[in-house]
Structure 1
């Protein structure tokens, strides 16, 4: 798998990946997530222009070139950490470590700082998955001002129809030893 920064030409493909990655939410009765419009090209361009849009490509056998991306990750600096704003993997490429590889790359690009994200608490490929790769749920008192603002924005968008959590992983892929109360 080749992970690198996204090019401007790839941005429309990220929207397609997001649509495909959202489809499994239909099976959980979460059509409002599955049918949500992906980030606009303008929104994606902000991340891409800042060098914070990553793509994962399978390497084409024998050509040395990249096939179309199969996953992407958007990140931003939030309160001294690296915040994963979005990570999406095509369902036919899930369970191959691509999401984790993207998160690990964002961690390297963001510096030796904690990585945070917000996600659905009870969706199997959300919080339970992130816990398996070293993230731990942050209690409300452990949220930084930036993370509180992100959660408020998510609530305003209606994402709190199902329980959501903020999670954190320490540099090097380690879960925090003790989460602040």
Structure 2
């Protein structure tokens, strides 16, 4: 397992993070999912916090606030650096950041069945988040994502207060 330094984003990181995000997106095409083109610059600019990993940069975690709590908007690791613990380290750093915000939980939306999406998060303490418990912000995000849904998606949550 390789460890990668994790730190907050700096403005000079954006071009490399765009490359990392786009490279990570190629995994979806390889799995048969044709995602619409995505420019991560908007996500990076609007995130409440972005953590980056590696030297050179090879991963990112972007957090937003939904319904007054932390939401993992994007987690991406360049495929050349996959399966080295970088995604897990970024996820744990993102959870620590959310705790610093005072969040008792973190939500996310992801593809239900892709091994590096829903099942991967489940192994890291996330559980399916029933729609009846969603706040207005998560419900709005779900509806926006439903417009481009090409495979079953799931909202997940992980409690942070006992982590």
2:89 counterpart residue number: 101
1:129 counterpart residue number: 120
Give the Å deviation of 1:37.
2.4
- Which of 55, 73, 79 is 2:52 aligned to? 55
1:115 counterpart residue number: 106
Higher strand share: 2
Give the Å deviation of 1:27.
2.2
Question: What does residue range 26-65 of structure 1 map to in structure 2 within 5 Å?
Answer: 26-30=29-33, 32-33=34-35, 36-40=37-41, 42-47=42-47, 50=48, 52-57=49-54
C-alpha distance in structure 2 between counterparts of 1:166 and 1:173, whole Å: 20
C-alpha distance in structure 1 between counterparts of 2:127 and 2:111, whole Å: 13
Q: Gapped runs of 5+ residues in structure 1? A: 58-66, 175-181
C-alpha distance in structure 1 between counterparts of 2:142 and 2:162, whole Å: 23
Give the Å deviation of 1:138.
1.0
C-alpha distance in structure 1 between counterparts of 2:143 and 2:119, whole Å: 22
Ranked by relative contact order (alpha carbons within 8 Å, sequence separation 6 or more), the top structure is 2
C-alpha distance in structure 2 between counterparts of 1:115 and 1:44, whole Å: 18
For residues 135 and 97 of structure 1, do their structure 2 counterparts lie closer, same or farther at Cα, with a shift above 3 Å needed?
same
Q: Gapped runs of 5+ residues in structure 2? A: none
Structure 1 runs (4+) deviating above 4 angstroms are none
Q: TM-score under structure 2 normalisation?
A: 0.88
C-alpha distance in structure 2 between counterparts of 1:76 and 1:143, whole Å: 15
CA RMSD of aligned residues (A): 1.7
